[in-house]
Chain A
Amino acid sequence: MEKLITGHCQLKNGKLFLNGKSLFEADILVDELLQKIVIEFEVKHPRFGKMDRLSKLGYTCAEILLKALGNFKLYQPFEVSLIFANASSSLDTDFRFQKTLESIASPALFVYTLPNLVLAEICIKNGFKGENLFLVSDLPDANLFFEPINQMLAQNITKACLAGWVEILGESYNCTLFAVEMPEHKSENQTEFNITNINKLFE
């Protein structure tokens, strides 16, 4: 079956897009922006307030994308794999944790000084138990994802992948996520899974 990009979601420069359609726009600071989006699109999580900013960003976009992709609920736990990447790893939280060392080190912050915690938050919420990879590079680039996803899907254990770039450092942020599946029929909005089409998402 053909591998297709079955959906994508982006939050960048105060604009939220789902499958290329603008959903929300506000010229405000990122923390406030995430708060507004969470309320507007009913992104629920009992521990949302405790997450670090990287997890909040990735989790919010993932939830909005997954809601639009009903199919992800139908996969078995080990059939869904995640591969994310960014430039700053967990540095945004590292700086915050470092500050607490001057008084009492915060265990709640220390836990988030690893970038793959955003994958954990998405997996816990959705029960995804497949592969998890977090890469660090300079810029979003299809080559980070293309061959690893091809290989994941070729091994016949993974049936669907959630992938993308989730970066935040201070007020600079970009979350661009996409889903790759092998559906029986190609429907509207779905595009072939290839380098050109992935790179279009990062534009």
Chain B
Amino acid sequence: MKRIWITGDALVTPLGFSSCENFASLLKGKSGLKNFTLPVSGFSSWVSFLSENQLKMLEEMTLPVFETRFEKLLFLPMKQVIEECEVDPKSSKTLFMFATTKGNIELIGNENVKTNQLSLFESAIKLSRYFGNLNKPLVISNACISGLAVQILAMKLLENGEYDTVIIAGADTVNPFILEGFNSLLALSPNPCRPFDRDRQGINIGEGGAAMVLSTIKPDNCRNDLIEIKGGAITNDANHISGPSRTGLELAKAAELALKQSGLLPGNIDFVSAHGTATLYNDEMEAKALTISGLSGNLTHSLKGYFGHTLGVAGLIESIICIHSLRNNVIIASKGFENAGTSNQINIITQNQHQPVSACIKTMAGFGGCNAAICFSKS
């Protein structure tokens, strides 16, 4: 296996317009969740969305050609990583990859909108061509694991050497389509979400954009600790189209394979960045999976109480926070947790913990029964 370094990362969310701003917000315990009444059904939930001011800022920081919220949320973090990192976006050895569930879905229902404006691939081409990359971009749309699946596929494509660098970008937005959809499934919480808590009532939706650079070329003069992506795996429950596995065996298998590929044991893992959507069934399944994987004693958090569930980009956003935890030697507290609420007990962290951090695992699960896990570690 080739060694793969993470040579750049950027985040644009309601908690900040760079990775560092986002990480600083989390350290202070700030959340992007705001009370919000759904426009059609009138249901009142909590949602993490960009404020009017932030939207104006985003507008000013992006080019007019990127008209939609989705494309702006892709563009800004991509621009940041390309400007800040030693990466040549125009090189034929650089591949652009994208992760999203719904792309420009905010436009659906508008009479003046053409079908191709809703195409995920059209957005991907527009962004790659803007940055001067002539390779055909790859788009992953794998439900809520998209942000991890894209990294796992990037690892595969870097392996044979055709590309030495992958620039990954992802985004998903808050819009009536998504909010009313999750509400129709009775999945939204009327209160700020409480992952793994006894009184959890469901998910909060969030929006954001993220970019990450993966490279097989070791950066030489790096200001920060070098972080590697060590291994990753995807499995399917083969159980139910929208409900998670009853046993957690399949997510546990993904975690086991990711650890094995990384050459790590559960004892080497300083923390688990769980999916933790705060639905009854997801958190119950995940606690079972962590127990099977031998990770139930490891410090564990969910970041949904800060960002909400950002769908296809959640895996990227939460991975980037993992990377900053490794660099800064601090594990972020799980927001909204008070009382244990899963039949298998796991070790939820309720205060930020400053300690040496050398390796972590990020897990996710999504509709369609898909599961994914990735391990990151310091070089």
Contacts and interface: CB of A to CB of B under 8 A. Distances in A.
A101 interface: yes
Given A94-B105, A137-B121, A143-B136, A106 B184 contact: yes
Interface in B218-241: 233-241
B235 A87 contact: no
Q: Which of B115, B156, B236 has the most CB atoms of chain A within a 10 A radius of its CB? A: B236
B288 interface: no
A119 interface: yes
A114 interface: yes
16 contacts: A89-B119, A97-B177, A105-B181, A107-B184, A110-B181, A111-B185, A111-B241, A114-B368, A117-B367, A124-B238, A132-B234, A133-B142, A133-B149, A147-B156, A148-B156, A151-B156
B162 interface: yes
A78 B237 CA distance: 10
Q: Which of B40, B121, B140 has the most CB atoms of chain A within a 10 A radius of its CB? A: B121
Contacts, number: 157
Nearest to A149: B156
Interface string B282-306: 0000000000000000000000000
Contacts of A106: 184
B234 to A, nearest CB: 4
Contact size range, B: 35 or more
A120 B368 contact: yes
Interface in B183-203: 183-186
A137 B233 CA distance: 23
B180 interface: yes
Given A97-B181, A132-B149, 19 more contacts: A77-B238, A94-B105, A94-B118, A98-B177, A105-B40, A116-B368, A119-B368, A119-B370, A123-B236, A123-B238, A124-B239, A124-B240, A129-B238, A134-B141, A135-B139, A136-B121, A138-B125, A150-B160, A157-B233
Nearest to A108: B184
Given A89-B141, A130-B235, A101 B185 contact: no
Nearest to A111: B242
A116 B368 CA distance: 6
A147 B181 contact: no
